[in-house]
Structure 1
């Protein structure tokens, strides 16, 4: 179950790891080691390239990669995020180096890390999510374009200019007059980067297994070395003592600029890390990111990196994605990748020094282009935020990083305010009534438009006013209320229906109009139809189809637009967290009792939540669902959920499955025969259920039935193999209808224990917790043996 709407855990405890030495633990270690090697191969060229783009010493990129891997991996709150020097910080760092020098920039990195430590300690990480993703992605895209334009000059054998505009202006001259060996190295690198992952697979040899960055830089280096090409290559210090170039204090008059630089690095690094961590969470099924702990880990990494003379550190989406796709399970992979980088540079520095600078520049050109994400732009366009993205992008490229971000943020605020004031008011006459519909947020800014429309309503008319509003301020309420009083004084009638919150109803309790008609409004979305106010047009003929149609209409008016983006992504495939097997009883709503949403549960429902033993003749639909969920969807969990007041269990107690049944119940009786072993498990044959109250006997049977079905699942080879390998977990659940509480099976004791909510008191079990009376009239098959 999710902790919140975004699946983010601010400060949840770490997930329980597999027991040391277990098969699952050994398999996880092997996967983490393999993933760490892949990320290490990706990180080395990227770290060197980002140091080049920043104008920092090359060893600074290596230091940041090592510290980001080890320190952020040990202290941070993400299971799989990889931290290191980030392309999104290159413009900031380059400007700081040009203004204050490298060693003062190291001090800024150290101080920014301390700021992040404080922010993490005061638990403010979630506030970073208030920054519009359109601004963040636009900033990163602008940085990518700026990097690509600058490094393209290096690829062409020249030198980058002072600004993106100057780089664009000088590009034709570079193309026309520079054709050195560096150009060939750059062209080879870019060509391999673009084509590597598109190459066909040869048996088990797949291009995606080997990082494209490693192949591109390695190939270009090999060709330049073997061919004896005269190109500038990487230069590293002779020893670690020479490599240290740590922080120093700035001049007395520079502290104001230093403070701005510290705030900028801390803010950008924090937002980029947290958003990247949340994005990476969508790629794996492990524990969700702990935001405050991750921010604390990023602060620790930046503090250490600045002290050792490294670049600023942030969570990096490219390396993190490679980590997940390579099979990483825990932070071990992140930590080990930092160790491999340290060992490689310590013992194989001469290999690194063969890399041409033009190859690193070409790698940065490719990365810069990739930072302009068409997918992000397409998603933002659906949410009408593409303008914020584009304005931020061009602002960063043409004016500078801070200026572009400021302009983008200002535009995002304007767009948000415009949405708050967006109001749609429509009128329609039908069946001798005037229907007025209001959509949007009803604030004082929308009162003039609403008042104008209401004044057009004829005197004495019968009016239906539908308020599809998510907010109503006092000025809007007074405008509607005053119009309603005046209209009813002239002989008219007003029926107000509030589809969402009852804004008008709450405000009107202290000042009700004369001959006031009761404002309607719907119950909460999870309430049954019978508890809601049925619209008049549906009430004329209340039937199941009419209710379903009314429900679909309500869904379209209040929910469909909000779900379109989510369902658009899910339409490309499903990756459910669990196979959920439960009863067909209408009172059990799986997504409601697990706080899950679309795409989370692969659900199987039948009478009595039964799983026929493998090989049982008859209905094979449950077996098909199990095989599909385990083999194809690769679900990590299977849950069997029973419930109280179950009609199927009552029919089992009454031996309905032993009777042939008539033409109307024969299928029911044959199906319930699959539950006979549950009666045996509950002790029915030994008379253990005979002297119990009906409610207690029914509870024991329903819970024993859950345990029996879990045993039946283990009879399926695909289930048993994955359970024994540690890749699949079976769980039992029981839902008490009377208390609306969920109970989980404790496999150690065989008892069902209630799930504790935040602040819940410790429950005291009592006999007959399911109630003293069966709701027979609403339970399937609960009308005694005559049902079967």
Structure 2
């Protein structure tokens, strides 16, 4: 498809869809943030044009976000709107500096439980504050005050405002269930329906009030004369939360399409530039937002043109459609924000965190955000997550039942005293069975345990050690060697098969992971590699259970379609049924299969495509040839032409311990260490 046809068929209609969604959301977020309505539209325009033009995640849509409403509302109350614009500008500069110094991924170090808890807390705060507006009364200063005031806000005198909110929520929830009209954003239909009801019945409810001259109404940023410590904290808070929300959204959007993955550092730089411009122009802080981004992908956007154009359409609506926007009742925008707030409390996140036993940091963060404030809630959540991690790291079980000593968990230096007390209770001269199931022993615990074993044996006792996780045998010929245990005598050893099976059952088959995979597999990539024992596909690609559909054979060969039914079936199943987005062909050096193919091309090795070259050159050229063969499979050709599949060649140098991508001519690109 040509660039022009792609633009007309995909990006142009997608940009209109996203703009129709962005206008009511931006106005609602501005109202909930205590900012002028025009500030929400300014942020949407800047997010689309500036952030979209520079973005490292081209399909991500940026603009004002519900996740920042709580903190912006507080800062506007403390410092005023003009100073809030200055805070947005300075936060943008902080993001630019972080992007230039390639600190994009640092924001993702915040524990997911804390991030989801923060969003859930923000959702509750939004719901409580906006319900008051829906019921026709102004919101209070704190969420708890809003909660207490809700029963008294119910009054027949304000039934019209409540009716507007009910109509908005009803359309929002019901519109996506109707066939044939789902491409029209529900938010736009809900707000338009509420405005039509107000006009039809003549209800007297507050409406939007936009300035007649939008440019004259823009606020210039103004720095306060004092409280620089508070301003600095506000700048860092806005920069951090905006960065975290943006980068989490970019990672989520990556999973919605099969195009190029996001460059997080460039995305952070783009967001910083957008916030700098938005602050200068009197707009709200800008972040990447998953609601508008997912709508962009679902509408068929292919390039950043859709994101940029959506900003243009929002600007046109603010300049040419101000009269229509002033028909929108404030209760409709508040009802829209109520639904957005409810959706921030995602039950799917709760289920996932329960599997990982991380509900506590989530709850502490959410309650802290609601009961105290956002910064305190996040700080409490991080502290809880750190304490929980430390507890898990140091948690151990040491039990003595007769002559059976069982040790499990992690043993660190501060558990050594308890371990020593238990060891002293074992009478001398006995046949002790040490069942060692340790995840980790630091030097102090290891020295105490190994010293006790040696001393106990020296005094006439016997210690038989069973180590289901790490019971290993030294040397390449275990029958002639004495068994050793890694925690008690760590050497470079080769595991036995039986020990590996025990290790899997003891450590590497967590029920939570297996439960998630029990409903079927959804691997992200297919790995076609050589059967050589040097190559460990999951180690090379950093994959875990459920990530990789693997096919291995001698020489990592992929016969052309129709030449081998087994490979035809595997490729078709991976691409058409499992929906993998990447197929990897991985060769290596030194490859015995390629060495044999250089001598003879009989049997299976006839599928190797080699030229007069060295062994390593032949292995690399063979990867390129197998990628060409792979393209002859109909499922691969169809998915590739639709942009849903990419083919990658990898070459593992087992001598240098590096893995590199293979270019079209067999030249290696960007080697990466094998660890």
Equivalent-residue separation in structure 1 for 2:514 and 2:488 (angstroms): 25
- The yes-or-no answer on 1:456 pairing with 2:429 is no
- The yes-or-no answer on 1:57 pairing with 2:40 is no
1:215-255 CA-partner distances (Å, limit 9, x unpaired): 222222233334443322211111233221121232x3443
Compute the displacement of 1:364 (Å).
0.8
1:682-722 CA-partner distances (Å, limit 9, x unpaired): 57xxxx7xxx9xxx5x7787677656655554444444444
- The yes-or-no answer on 1:360 pairing with 2:326 is no
Equivalent-residue separation in structure 2 for 1:486 and 1:396 (angstroms): 55
- The yes-or-no answer on 1:274 pairing with 2:247 is yes
Are residues 328 and 574 of structure 1, via their aligned partners in 2, closer, same or farther at CA, if it must alter by over 3 Å?
farther
- The yes-or-no answer on 1:158 pairing with 2:137 is yes
Q: Is the 8 A contact 1:156 1:178 kept in 2?
A: no
Q: Which moved more, 1:569-578 or 1:398-407?
A: 569-578
Name the counterpart of 2:508. Answer: 559
Compute the displacement of 1:759 (Å).
8.5
Are residues 630 and 368 of structure 1, via their aligned partners in 2, closer, same or farther at CA, if it must alter by over 3 Å?
same
Alignment counterpart, residue 208 of structure 2, candidates 213, 234, 237: 234
Equivalent-residue separation in structure 2 for 1:493 and 1:228 (angstroms): 93
- The yes-or-no answer on 1:483 pairing with 2:452 is yes
Name the counterpart of 2:537. Answer: 590
Equivalent-residue separation in structure 1 for 2:94 and 2:348 (angstroms): 33
- The yes-or-no answer on 1:191 pairing with 2:160 is no
User: Greater CA radius of gyration, 1 or 2?
Assistant: 1
Compute the displacement of 1:80 (Å).
3.0
Equivalent-residue separation in structure 2 for 1:288 and 1:729 (angstroms): 12
Alignment counterpart, residue 447 of structure 1, candidates 377, 399, 416: 416
Name the counterpart of 1:18. Answer: none
1:711-735 CA-partner distances (Å, limit 9, x unpaired): 5544444444444566544455565
- The yes-or-no answer on 1:342 pairing with 2:308 is no
Aligned length: 664
Equivalent-residue separation in structure 1 for 2:505 and 2:326 (angstroms): 62
Equivalent-residue separation in structure 1 for 2:4 and 2:422 (angstroms): 68
Equivalent-residue separation in structure 1 for 2:278 and 2:189 (angstroms): 28
Are residues 222 and 632 of structure 1, via their aligned partners in 2, closer, same or farther at CA, if it must alter by over 3 Å?
farther
Alignment partner of 1:560: what SS? coil
Q: Is the 8 A contact 2:559 2:607 kept in 1?
A: no
Compute the displacement of 1:279 (Å).
3.4
Q: Is the 8 A contact 2:164 2:332 kept in 1?
A: yes
Task: List aligned pairs for 1:257-296, cutoff 5 A.
Answer: 257-296=230-269
Alignment partner of 1:409: what SS? helix
TM-score (norm 1): 0.75
- The yes-or-no answer on 1:602 pairing with 2:549 is yes
Equivalent-residue separation in structure 2 for 1:582 and 1:734 (angstroms): 10
Q: Is the 8 A contact 2:187 2:336 kept in 1?
A: yes
- The yes-or-no answer on 1:143 pairing with 2:57 is no
Task: List aligned pairs for 1:195-594, cutoff 5 A.
Answer: 195-197=174-176, 199=177, 201=179, 205=180, 207=182, 209-250=183-224, 252-427=225-400, 434-465=403-434, 467-494=436-463, 519-520=485-486, 531-534=493-496, 547=497, 549-561=498-510, 565=512, 568-572=515-519, 574-594=521-541
TM-score (norm 2): 0.86
Q: CA RMSD in A?
A: 3.7
Q: Is the 8 A contact 2:663 2:669 kept in 1?
A: no
- The yes-or-no answer on 1:180 pairing with 2:159 is yes
Equivalent-residue separation in structure 2 for 1:568 and 1:638 (angstroms): 26
Are residues 554 and 66 of structure 1, via their aligned partners in 2, closer, same or farther at CA, if it must alter by over 3 Å?
same
- The yes-or-no answer on 1:753 pairing with 2:671 is no
Alignment partner of 1:157: what SS? coil
Equivalent-residue separation in structure 2 for 1:173 and 1:217 (angstroms): 26
Alignment partner of 2:428: what SS? coil
Alignment partner of 2:232: what SS? helix
Name the counterpart of 2:577. Answer: 632
Q: Is the 8 A contact 2:441 2:487 kept in 1?
A: no
Equivalent-residue separation in structure 2 for 1:522 and 1:756 (angstroms): 40
Equivalent-residue separation in structure 2 for 1:597 and 1:495 (angstroms): 34
Alignment counterpart, residue 115 of structure 1, candidates 70, 86, 94: 94
Alignment partner of 1:240: what SS? coil
Compute the displacement of 1:189 (Å).
0.8
Alignment partner of 1:452: what SS? helix
Q: What 5-or-longer segments of structure 1 have no aligned partner?
A: 1-21, 506-515, 535-546, 658-671, 761-788
Q: Is the 8 A contact 2:95 2:243 kept in 1?
A: yes
1:241-288 CA-partner distances (Å, limit 9, x unpaired): 3221121232x3443432332232223222322333333333334444
Equivalent-residue separation in structure 1 for 2:468 and 2:522 (angstroms): 33
Q: Is the 8 A contact 1:442 1:476 kept in 2?
A: yes
Equivalent-residue separation in structure 2 for 1:719 and 1:323 (angstroms): 26
Compute the displacement of 1:523 (Å).
12
Q: Is the 8 A contact 2:449 2:488 kept in 1?
A: no
Are residues 709 and 416 of structure 1, via their aligned partners in 2, closer, same or farther at CA, if it must alter by over 3 Å?
closer
Compute the displacement of 1:742 (Å).
5.5
Equivalent-residue separation in structure 2 for 1:474 and 1:653 (angstroms): 53
1:354-400 CA-partner distances (Å, limit 9, x unpaired): 21111101001111111112222222223332122222222222233
Equivalent-residue separation in structure 2 for 1:110 and 1:443 (angstroms): 47
Alignment partner of 1:243: what SS? coil
Alignment partner of 2:154: what SS? helix
Q: Is the 8 A contact 1:584 1:606 kept in 2?
A: yes
Alignment counterpart, residue 84 of structure 1, candidates 63, 81, 91: 63
Compute the displacement of 1:30 (Å).
4.5
